[in-house]
A and B are shown apart, each in its own frame.
Chain A
Amino acid sequence: MSAIPGSAQQVLSVTQLTSIVRKTIEAEPSLEGVSVRGEISNFTRHANGNLYFSLKDKDAQIRAVMFSRSAFGLNFKPAEGDEVVAAGSVSVYEKRGEYQLYVRSMTPAGRGALFLEYLKLKKKLADEGLFDLSRKRTLPMFPRRIAVVTSPTGAAVRDIINVIKRRFPALELTVCPTLVQGDQAPPHIRTALKRAAALPGVDLIIVARGGGSFEDLWCFNDELLARDVAACPIPVISGVGHEIDETIIDFVSDLRAPTPSAAAEIAVPDIYELRLRLRVVGDNLSRRLIETVRYTRSALKNIELTLSPKRFLERLDRRKQTLDEYASVMRRSVSYKLETLKKQIEHERERLASIDPRRVLARGYAMVSDAKTGAIVKSTSQAPHGALLRVSVSDGDFTVRSEAPATQRQKSLSFDD
């Protein structure tokens, strides 16, 4: 098929030539079932569902097409700039004389793939309960020795030291150097973490790294590292990247700090606050003591007053006054009683007067009694001849002697008849 210039030879049509090229390419085994990694550019999605784009890297690019029936099976949405691995075969699109990759399947690579992986691991560990709040350990209030797992040359370690120096310099800080980026970083960090936890007297570990891209921080999404952190016997604070960065270690650590500086802030108390607190406590104690002294003094004064002669006399006077009051009450009640009795006697006297026999004498009757014995004479037998009798009339008495023999009156028969 080689054509020697100038020699009589077959002249091909464009179609024929293109067909030869296509057949040659399709016959090449290394171009069949090929996988290629590159970045998507000039991406268009045709109305019929076909995807047209180029795959490129730093130095080259290739046209690619993914027909709708294949594109339907994609588990992500390809977009301009995505790093992907496309699998398919190379052939020629004769109409335009272009060779291109016919993509049958495609997966994200680079960041997209990493992100999917990250989400998968996050879900897996979350399902295992590694992120549960109940697993979080309490951080020491006054750490004695803090181990900082980080790069010894980065800004992170400098920030942490500065913050701790300012806030609470009463401790020992041990830097546990490690790589914090790249494929080698995860095992490196794990080793450093283990050594940190084994330090004598260490009671807090900070794992830190300054900000970086998602890929830069990727080593902190390592599953084994995550498990090590979860199982670490010493409480761990993570301070990886900036506020917006989120890595798996943030979820398994006992506390997630948004930055390395913030991790240091959280790790230690503030010495100024402590001093202030000490001063407040001291002031309170003094105040309480003064209060107690004052109270005790006034209590003493009360006792003293109670026992003083003046108070004693006052109390005596009060008792006397009470007694006087009792006395006057009694006096009043006795005189009342006397008055009542007097009235009663007067009443009785009047009653007795009404039945006085002398009042009968006033009506002309006389009362006769034995002059010697005083006995009232009610019968003739009491007045024998010669008996000396006293006769009482209304205004006095006189004595008489009985002369005529006593005659008995007939029993009052005449009256009865």
Chain B
Amino acid sequence: MAKKEKQNSFEENLEKLQEIVDRVDSGELGLEQMIASYEEGLSLIKTCKSILDGAELKINKLVEDSEKTEPFDVQD
């Protein structure tokens, strides 16, 4: 569940980040708003990066006739 939330926030963060970029690019921001947007953007980037850095592919396999999953080993 924690994983899911984390994943959710990656996409959301990226969307928010895009919004900030659009706002900043509009050239309508005053200095204070600009500083606020900059800080918000930077923290979003940091969050996104940390999600990517901490990403680890979770691989599993459906167990036959069950809703359960079990670890899946890739045979090389």
Contacts and interface: CB of A to CB of B under 8 A. Distances in A.
Interface string A260-296: 0000000000010011001001101110110011001
Nearest to B8: A144
A172 B61 contact: no
A128 B74 CA distance: 40
Nearest to A164: B57
Contacts of A274: 48, 52
A235 B10 CA distance: 21
Contacts of B35: 289
A161 B74 contact: yes
Given A172-B3, A285-B41, A177 B64 contact: yes
A289 B42 CA distance: 12
Given A152-B61, A158-B75, A170-B10, A278 B31 contact: no
A300 to B, nearest CB: 10
A271 B52 contact: yes
Given A142-B11, A144-B7, A285 B74 contact: no
Contacts of A296: 31
A302 interface: no
A175 B45 contact: no
Interface residues of B, number: 41
Given A158-B76, A274-B52, A293-B31, A285 B37 contact: yes
A198 B21 CA distance: 37
Interface string B36-76: 01100110010011011001111111101001010010111
A66 interface: no
Contacts of A281: 17, 21, 41, 45
Given A144-B8, A285-B37, A169 B56 contact: yes
Contacts of B61: 152, 174-177
Given A282-B42, A293-B31, A157 B7 contact: no
Interface string A305-349: 000000000000000000000000000000000000000000000
Contacts of B42: 282, 285
Contact of A288 (B38, B48, B52, B72): B38
A170 B11 CA distance: 11
Contacts of A142: 7, 10-11, 14
9 contacts: A158-B74, A161-B74, A173-B59, A196-B62, A199-B62, A284-B21, A285-B41, A292-B30, A296-B31
Interface of B: 3-4, 7-8, 10-11, 14, 17, 20-21, 24-25, 29-31, 34-35, 37-38, 41-42, 45, 48-49, 51-52, 55-62, 64, 67, 69, 72, 74-76
Interface of A: 141-142, 144, 152-153, 157-158, 161-162, 164-165, 168-177, 192, 195-196, 198-199, 201, 271, 274-275, 278, 281-282, 284-286, 288-289, 292-293, 296
